[in-house]
Amino acid sequence: MTLTLKLLVISLASIAVFSSMDPERLSDALLSMGVPAQFSFGVSYGYRMLPILIEEYHHLFHSFRLRGRAPLKKGLFGWRSVLYLGGTAVMTFYPLMLNTAKRTRTTVEALEVKGFTYALVSPDAKRLKLAYLRIRPADIVFMAVSLLYMAALFGAGHWISL
């Protein structure tokens, strides 16, 4: 029960942060913490592309279902329907991978035209890119309140366990 609650709290906090944060800001934060530029770009790109890929998968899946013919008899426990939907789900991945490869190639070409490779290794480009990141008073207040809250939780947990 304790492990489940801990995982739930961490998952909810992660979802809250990632759903409200701009991908560019997340990428810049990772870059400023010393994460390699390729990895921070990959996280940012994946964060932007995942909803698009999910939406495209749904469109492809529904188009396969519209063009295909569902089983006339569902069978015991609907096994024919499950088999039909599973086969359709698998067949949907091939066009999705082709579209993703095409989109990735276009993105790589656009990034290379803009000088992305040079920007990854140039300290001047990195300094310019991260120049807007600042620690504001609200950030310090948030960290202080968070630390006090965590200390209170640990203290309460220790006091309750006695």
Q: What is this structure's pTM?
A: 0.60
Q: Are 28 and 125 in contact (CB under 8 A)?
A: no
pLDDT in tens, 86-108: 888 888 888 999 988 888 888 88
In sequence order, what E strands does the chain have? none
Question: Which of 114-118, 123-127, 146-150 has the largest mean confidence?
Answer: 146-150
Which pLDDT belongs to residue 138?
92
Q: How many residues make up the chain in this entry?
A: 162
- Dihedral angle over CA of 118, 116, 46, 97, nearest 10: -110
- The first and second tokens of residue 161, run together, are 């366990």
For residues 59-65, give the mean pLDDT: 88
Q: Are 37 and 126 in contact (CB under 8 A)?
A: yes
pLDDT score of 42 more than 90:
no
pLDDT in tens, 6-19: 888 888 877 777 77
Which pLDDT belongs to residue 143?
92
* Cβ neighbours of residue 132 closer than 8 Å, sequence gap 6 or more: 28
